[in-house]
Amino acid sequence: MQVTDVRVKLTPPGKDRLCGFCTITLDGSFVVRDIKIIDGPNGIFIAMPSRKLMDHCPSCRTKNHLRARYCNQCGQQLNENRHAQGEDTRLKLHSDVAHPINAECRSYVHKAILTAYQQEVERSKQPGYVPARFEEHPDAVESMPS
């Protein structure tokens, strides 16, 4: 597997730890979007795209975030302990959409993204800098084949 394209979009500087977002292309044929680049206490790291975990309201069956106190649809109060965890484990609120499955792959992707991030930071210091656009990947397929 090769990271064949990395696109970085910087966020405006400020108090937020979020440095930017990234899209990577693997082997010129698979895209992973919305990778976050974050300035943490131990340096810059990446966070893979994730989604909030949900459960269903017992009354109307509408999906609600696990920390929701009331149903978004019917307004019924939800049991706050519906997903109680033991003392030694935390409640998992998000799940990765895509992620490397071993340390070697994670390190490879991390290095490729941070290299592209540093290059984009340097580019942003040049006069006439225009931030990257993420609307569509240039090789994106318009529709799925039948």
Domains of the chain: 3-49+97-124 (3.30.1120.40), 51-95 (no CATH)
What is the pLDDT averaged over residues 4-20? 89
Predicted confidence band of residue 124 (pLDDT cuts 50, 70, 90): very high
pLDDT, residue 5, reads: 93
State the amino acid at position 112 in one-letter form: A
Buried b (16+ CB within 10 A) or exposed e, 47-82: eebeeeeeeebeeeeeebeeebeebeeeeeebeeee
User: How remote is the C-alpha of 82 from its chain's centroid?
Assistant: 27
Under a CB-based contact definition with an 8 Å cutoff, are residues 93 and 66 in contact? yes
Give the tokens for residue 33.
């979007």
pLDDT, residue 142, reads: 47
What is the pLDDT averaged over residues 121-131? 90
Under a CB-based contact definition with an 8 Å cutoff, are residues 80 and 91 in contact? no
Looking at the DSSP assignment, which residues form a beta bridge with residue 20?
10, 37
Tens digit of each residue's pLDDT (9 = 90 or more) over 28-76:
999 999 999 999 999 999 999 988 888 888 899 998 888 888 998 999 9
Mean pLDDT taken over the chain: 85
User: How remote is the C-alpha of 88 from its chain's centroid?
Assistant: 26
User: How remote is the C-alpha of 45 from its chain's centroid?
Assistant: 12
Residue 19 has pLDDT above 90, yes or no: yes
